Amino acid sequence: MRALILTAPGTPEVVDLPDPHAGPGQLRIKIAGAGINPADLHILDGGQTGLGLGLDIAGVVDEVGPGVHGFAPGARVAAFQFPHASHMTAGAAAEYVVVPADAAAVVPDGVTLVDAATVPTNALTAVQLLGPLGPGAGRRLLVTGAAGAVGGYGVALAAHAGWAVTGLARATDREFLTRAGADRGITELAEASEVDAVFDTALFNGAALAPLRDNGWYVGIFPGQEPPAERGITVTVGVVRADGAALAELLDLTARGVLEARTAGTVGLDEADSAYAKLRAGGSRGRWVITP
């Protein structure tokens, strides 16, 4: 099979690998779409070689390993996976990929596999990091980078959970913020009034503490860049983890229109460089998807 592998720092290459097979507790998925995310740029620039690229998976189950229940060949599924540390092992940007069954979720009717490939990494990041904040009723959340990859899901999930949401994004993103559920849009951090929590996907870091009330919450997305706590503020940061059950709920919210699947376009494996370049240039709205 063909797969996109980081053969040199910053240099992805399409290589031929043996077809993988599902082991105990695993599914083999024939890929229909592999979403490209900001996290992929960190992998590209990280200096490690031999990694299979692609975190977001959508496709059709074509092999089920021993001990797997709830999935059968032909099922449309999506999944999230970390980059493979094993040398020359495929990630999502490949013709086939093997994942643990508990990382996968059935894609509901009404959601295309290309759209499903845009959901896992960013939606799981948002729901897992916002979860510890508790109920939103009567509380206000500021989301920085509110129209971006993670921030857009943060706005929609928080609004769905009852938060009053202020979204910080470009003025041209105001229509999206409204659709996602924000009741206020701002373009500068200085415009923010006092809030109970900040979901800082734009990495303002210490500056994002300014609108936070005493004893509020700061939630960051990049471990090691979070600001020191002050004024009783709880500072949290985390790394996304695979969770098939949570992903199933997020895909259901996508099918119901609560979450918006934003696809910028599709490219083949051989044209993946062009999509990485567009993402690196910034300003993209929606995810590029590799279609092997």
Work out the percent of the chain whose per-residue pLDDT is above 90: 82
Query: How confident is the model over 115-146, as pLDDT tens digits?
Result: 999 999 999 999 999 999 999 999 999 999 99
Query: How confident is the model over 239-265, as pLDDT tens digits?
Result: 899 999 999 999 999 999 999 999 999
Query: How confident is the model over 184-209, as pLDDT tens digits?
Result: 999 999 999 999 999 999 999 999 99
Q: CB-based contacts of 177: which residues, under 8 Å, 6+ apart?
A: 146, 147, 155, 167, 169, 185
Per-residue model confidence (pLDDT) at position 231: 96
Q: Which two tokens stand for residue 25?
A: 């507790």
Q: CB-based contacts of 134: which residues, under 8 Å, 6+ apart?
A: none
Beta bridge partners of 5: 13, 52
Per-residue model confidence (pLDDT) at position 84: 60
Class of residue 266 by CB neighbours under 10 A (exposed 0-12, middle 13-18, buried 19+): middle
Q: Which two tokens stand for residue 20?
A: 């993988």
* pTM score above 0.85: yes
At 157, the amino acid letter reads L
Q: Is the dihedral of CA 255, 260, 265, 271 positive or negative?
A: negative
Q: What is the DSSP letter of 94?
A: B
Q: Would you say residue 47 has pLDDT above 80?
A: no
Instruction: Name the pLDDT band for 48 (thresholds 50, 70, 90).
Output: confident
- For 67-71, the CB contacts below 8 A with 24+ separation are 67/24, 67/25, 68/22, 68/25, 68/26, 68/27, 68/101, 70/101, 71/27, 71/101, 71/104, 71/106
Query: How confident is the model over 155-170, as pLDDT tens digits?
Result: 999 999 999 999 999 9
At 220, the amino acid letter reads G
Average the pLDDT over each of 9-13, 90-94, 96-100, 270-274 and give the range with the smallest value.
9-13
Per-residue model confidence (pLDDT) at position 8: 84
Q: Which two tokens stand for residue 155?
A: 């706005």
Per-residue model confidence (pLDDT) at position 87: 60
Cα 83 to the center of its chain, rounded Å: 14
